[in-house]
Chains A and B, each alone.
Chain A
Amino acid sequence: MITLGALFNPRGGIHPAYHKDSTESLPVEAMPVPKSLYVALNQHLGAPSKPVVKKGDVVVRGQPLAEPAGYVSSWVHAPTSGVIRSVESRLTASGQLGPVVEIEADGRDEGLPCTSAPAEWRNLPARELVEMVLAGGVIGMGGAGFPTQVKLLPPQGKVIHTLIINGAECEPYLTADYRIMIEQSEKIRQGVEILHRILNATKVFIAVEDNKPAAISALEKAFRDFAGELAIVVVKTKYPQGAEKQLIYSCTRREVPSGGLPMDVGALVENVGTATAIVDAVVAHRPLVERIVTVTGDAIGQPKNVLARTGTSFRDLIAFCGGIRGNPGKVICGGPMMGVAQSSIDVGMNKTTSGLLLLSRAQIQQYSSMPCIGCGRCVQACPSGLLPCFLSENIEAENYGEAEALNVLDCIECGACAFECPAHRPLVQHMRMGKAKVLQRRRQREAKAGQKEKAS
């Protein structure tokens, strides 16, 4: 094992105020199981899971609530024991309606009877290990929620030779991953060993930003006698350093091709939280039903790093952290750069919820309808090398052809442009709308081409 300084510096990026000091030194606190839990069935990317329980069913912790509804999908498990109150369309943490299972906890928090002893996973074939990851409902816990088992099974012809463990945590305010790296560095090591066994990767990088020296030394200690070729990469602190494609560049100087996946450059990125969830799923047969959430912001009574069950409502989380202080301007699920502003706090948290942020009005961005003044700061900030200023103007003018030519589809919606924009234009919203419209136009074009082909 070696520790390396920043290897390569991806383009663009910004330096927001990090505000991590209020929670970074607080140990993780386990939250008691609340009365009602709202477990969304679309926590992951891909097809929403198909419910296997119905109203009135009695479930125990770890029992499946829903099964995968496709290749890119995942299992969802009951976070505690209790009765199913309803299975219906409700508001989810993404801000959209989605299928949600409401569970009334019985307070006993019974788990499934342990059927097998802790597995001696070192003797199992990779295929079986992946099955266990799938059965544990493990998804990417950094935010996107991509089902992990899909990433672990690259299609024929793709070889993954580089494993990158993402401990950058570049979002301001959030310290969940930081606490995992400090408190569970041994578990991360075990997770890396399992991933190493599955993938047989030749190189392992653990990327941590240089503003987290304590995490770096904890990891150094845990990995000091690691057998394979492993490097802890101390990357430069800047946002969005922890974005998947940017991190791959930081470690390998390879660019994931436009529209491609990390596996196209032989890389796989897993969040530190995902690594620990894999350990639970493989070693203890314990599915993913809880995670660490940073509850913070200047409008929360008592900022904390909380270990909470999936489906815990934001209302209960806030109550556990000393309630709302003053008048919050926004309630955000996730970090301040890419999180989703919530319209209600009666929404359950997901496997991907890394933070709950309550910000006062003084702290939040106020968007305006002012025109672009062409300062070019967004161009300098954009990690994807786009021209957000012209993109937003073209999208505003519904000139989607030009937006496509300006590569709007390569936008990663990191928000660096809107953070810098002195005119306070809602650039990310422009991009998201532009992307949707461009994709829609593409589909229409393809359909039309198909029709013409048929006609001729």
Chain B
Amino acid sequence: MEYILLIISAVLVNNFVLTQFLGICPFLGVSKDLATAAGMGGAVIFVMTLASAVTWGLQAFVLAPLHAEYLQTIAFILVIATFVQFVELVLKKTSPGLHKALGIYLPLITTNCAVLGVAVLNIKKEHNCLESITFGFGAALGFALALILFTGLREKIARSNPPQCFRGTAIALVTAGLLSLAFMGFAGLVKM
């Protein structure tokens, strides 16, 4: 039950994109087409879940015993980068179309603050191994959900008619703001 609440909290209440504003770059970058967004969501779920597990292990078994917590950031990024490179290799092999559509945003998951954020938050909230994985998975799920939701909205924005100066990213950011306003309704749903 606790784990389910953790997931609900990460998906709805503390959605990484919509209430914590992490990972905005790919959120805006790959939300133009449903299939691409779903692919990105999948990639992020993979990277985030595994990175949560590995970084937790790295912290618990290497950094903490050796009192080298100050190396957290750089070591975590190393791990994340590996996973991202791995996903990139897999996608290039299995789904070149998706690989092409994701373009620069795929390697950019490395520097996606959402992924690093999950790893760091796991340590900060003193999650155990299973909690870390659950939290990582939930956060990634929330990211994917927000991405897919936003894709639908982007499609409608593409047909809308904003003033010249608001076209493109500007109106997308306004929309993200309104979406996050709507998600405020979930505030207080899970007290964690």
- Minimum CB–CB distance from B104 to chain A (whole Å) comes to 24
**Minimum distance in angstroms from B154 CB to a CB of chain A:** 13
Q: Verify if A56 is at the interface (C-beta below 8 Å from B).
A: no
Is A393 an interface residue, CB under 8 A from the partner?
yes
A-side contacts of B159, CB under 8 Å = 393-394, 396-397, 399
B158 at interface (Cβ–Cβ under 8 A)? Answer: yes
User: Which A residues touch B161, using CB under 8 A?
Assistant: 371
Q: How far is the CB of A419 from chain B (nearest CB, A)?
A: 23
- B160's nearest neighbour on chain A, judged by CB, is A371
Report the interface size for chain A: residues with CB under 8 A from the other chain: 6
Contacts of A399 in B (CB 8 A): 158-159
Flag A385-426 by CB within 8 Å of B: 1 or 0 each. Answer: 000000001101101000000000000000000000000000
Complex Cα distance, B155 from A399, in Å, reads 11
User: How would residues 253 to 286 of chain A score, 1 for a CB under 8 Å from any chain B CB and 0 otherwise?
Assistant: 0000000000000000000000000000000000
A396 / chain B contacts, CB cutoff of 8 Å: 159
Q: In the complex, how many angstroms separate the beta carbon of A41 from the nearest chain B beta carbon? A: 43
A396 to B158, CA, bound (A): 12
Number of B positions contacting A (CB below 8 A): 3
Residue of A nearest to B159 (CB): A393
- A371 proximity list for chain B (CB < 8 A): 161
Cα(A147)–Cα(B13), bound, Å: 66
CA distance A397 to B167 in the complex (A): 14
Q: Mark B143-172, 1 if CB is under 8 A from A, else 0.
A: 000000000000000110100000000000
Q: Which of A346-401 contact B (CB under 8 A)?
A: 371, 393-394, 396-397, 399
Q: How far is the CB of B45 from chain A (nearest CB, A)?
A: 27
Q: In the complex, how many angstroms separate the beta carbon of B64 from the nearest chain A beta carbon? A: 53
CB under 8 Å from chain A, chain B span 23-41: none
Restricting to B46-89, which residues have a CB under 8 Å from any CB of A? none
Expressed in whole angstroms, the minimum distance between the Cβ of B36 and any Cβ of chain A is: 15
**Closest residue to A374 on the B side, CB-wise?**
B156
Question: In the assembly, what is the distance between CA of A396 and CA of B161, in Å?
Answer: 12
| C-alpha spacing A288/B80, complex, angstroms | 80
Collect the chain B residues with CB atoms within 8 Å of residue A393's CB.
159
Smallest CB-CB separation from B161: which chain A residue? A371
Chain A: minimal CB distance from B153 (Å): 14
Q: How far is the CA of A187 from the CA of B151 in the complex (A)?
A: 61
Q: Report the separation of the CA atoms of residues A393 and B159 in the bound assembly, to the nearest whole angstrom.
A: 7
B54 nearest CB across to chain A (Å):
41
Which of chain B's residues has its CB closest to A402's CB? B155
State the CA gap A394–B161 with chains docked (Å).
13
> For residue B158, which residue of chain A has the nearest CB?
A397
Report how far A393 CA is from B158 CA in the complex, Å.
10
* Complex Cα gap A371–B161 (Å): 9
Question: In the complex, what distance in Å separates the CA atom of A396 from the CA atom of B159?
Answer: 9
A396 (CB) vs chain B CBs: closest residue: B159
C-beta contact mask, A57-69 vs B, less than 8 Å → 1, else 0?
Answer: 0000000000000
In the bound complex, residues from chain A placing their C-beta under 8 Å from that of B158 are 397, 399
A388 to chain B minimum Cβ distance, whole angstroms, is: 14
Nearest CB on A from B75, distance (A)? 45
| A394 to B, closest residue via Cβ | B159
Roughly how many angstroms separate A371 CA and B159 CA in the complex, as a whole number?
10
* Cβ-closest chain A residue relative to B155: A402
Once bound together, how far apart are the Cα atoms of A101 and B161, in whole Å? 49
Give Cα A397–Cα B161 distance, bound, in whole angstroms. Answer: 10
Kindly state the separation between the CA atoms of A322 and B164 in the bound complex, as whole angstroms. 55
Q: Name the residue on B nearest A371 (C-beta).
A: B161
B32 to chain A, nearest CB (A): 12
CA–CA, A397 and B160, complex, Å: 9
Q: A393–B161 Cα gap in the complex (Å)?
A: 11
Inter-chain CA distance A397–B158, complex, in Å, is 9
The complex places the Cα of A397 from the Cα of B159 at a distance, in Å, of 7
- Least distance between B161 CB and chain A CB atoms (Å): 7
Chain A: minimal CB distance from B87 (Å): 28
Q: In angstroms, how far is the closest chain B Cβ from the Cβ of A67?
A: 50
Q: How far is the CB of A408 from chain B (nearest CB, A)?
A: 15
A213 CB → nearest B CB, Å: 47
CB distance from B105 to the nearest CB of A (A): 22
A233 to B: closest C-beta gap in Å: 42
A404 CB to closest chain B CB, in angstroms?
Answer: 16
Note all chain B residues with C-beta closer than 8 A to A394.
159
Nearest neighbor of A372 in chain B, beta-carbon distance:
B159
Question: How far is the CB of A310 from the nearest CB of chain B, in Å?
Answer: 45
**Nearest residue in B to A390 (C-beta to C-beta)?**
B159
Q: How far is the CB of A262 from chain B (nearest CB, A)?
A: 36
B168 to chain A, nearest CB (A): 15
Contact digits for B122-148, partner A, Cβ 8 Å, 1 yes 0 no = 000000000000000000000000000
CA distance A52 to B49 in the complex (A): 79
Give the complex CA separation of A399 and B158 in angstroms.
10
Q: How far is the CB of A135 from chain B (nearest CB, A)?
A: 53
- Min Cβ gap B151→A in Å is 14
For A393, give the chain B residue with the smallest CB separation: B159
Q: What's the nearest-Cβ distance from chain A to residue B65, in Å?
A: 57
Q: Which 8 pairs across A and B sit closest by C-beta, in order of nearness? A: A393-B159, A397-B159, A371-B161, A397-B158, A394-B159, A396-B159, A399-B159, A399-B158
Q: Could you name 8 residue pairs across A and B whose Cβ atoms are closer than 8 Å?
A: A371-B161, A393-B159, A394-B159, A396-B159, A397-B158, A397-B159, A399-B158, A399-B159
Interface residues of B (CB under 8 A from A): 158-159, 161
Q: Give residues in A with beta carbon < 8 Å to B.
A: 371, 393-394, 396-397, 399
Inter-chain pairs besides A393-B159, A397-B158, A399-B158, 5 sampled, C-beta below 8 Å: A371-B161, A394-B159, A396-B159, A397-B159, A399-B159
